C-alpha cells in the first residue's frame, strides 16, 4: 500500500496512479480469466495498444520474448506492434480491465 496516497481534500481515500496520458481511448473491456484461461492461443499484433490493469488475481503477459507478471493493482501498456497474449497466472479467477489505446 506504500504506492497509494490520499489526494488533497479527500478522507479515507487511497489512490494509485496506474498510467499517465497515452493516446486516445478506443474501447474499454473487463475480462474474467478462469484457471488456465487467456489468449489468444497464438500471440498476435495489431495497430493499437492495450493498457491492462489487474483488479483481482494475477496475469501473465507473453510480450515478444518477455514474460510480464501483473498482480492486483498493477498495470502494463502492451504495444500492439509487439506480439502478445495474456493468461491467468494463478489457480483462481483473475479479473482484468483492458483499455485499447490508439496512438
> Among 5-9, 15-19, 88-92, which is the least confidently predicted range?
15-19
Model pLDDT, residue 23: 76
Mean pLDDT over 82-100 rounds to: 96
Give the three cell numbers for residue 47: 495497430
How do residues 74-87 score in pLDDT, each as one tens digit?
Answer: 999 999 999 999 99
Q: Which residue has the cell 483499455?
A: 99
Residue 57 lies in a domain: yes
In tens, the pLDDT along 17-60 reads 887 777 789 999 999 999 999 999 999 999 999 999 999 999 99
Structural domain span for residue 80: 24-102
Q: Is 96 exposed, middle or buried (0-12, 13-18, 19+ CB in 10 A)?
A: buried
Residue 2 in domain? no
Instruction: Assess if residue 58 is contained within a domain.
Output: yes
User: What is the count of structural domains for the chain?
Assistant: 1
CATH of the domain at 63: 2.60.120.10
Please list, residue by residue across 32-41, b when 16 or more beta carbons sit within 10 angstroms of its beta carbon and e when fewer do.
Answer: ebeeeebeee
Amino acid at each position: 500500500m506504500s504506492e497509494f496516497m490520499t489526494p488533497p481534500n479527500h478522507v479515507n481515500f487511497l489512490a494509485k496512479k496506474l498510467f499517465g496520458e497515452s493516446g486516445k481511448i478506443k474501447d474499454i473491456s473487463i475480462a474474467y480469466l478462469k484457471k488456465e484461461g487467456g489468449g489468444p492461443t497464438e500471440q498476435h499484433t495489431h495497430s493499437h495498444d492495450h493498457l491492462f490493469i489487474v483488479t483481482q488475481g494475477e496475469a501473465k503477459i507473453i510480450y515478444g520474448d518477455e514474460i510480464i507478471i501483473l498482480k492486483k493493482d498493477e498495470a502494463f501498456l502492451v504495444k500492439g506492434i509487439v506480439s502478445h497474449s495474456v493468461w491467468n497466472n494463478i489457480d483462481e479467477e483473475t479479473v482484468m480491465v483492458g483499455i485499447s489505446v490508439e496512438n
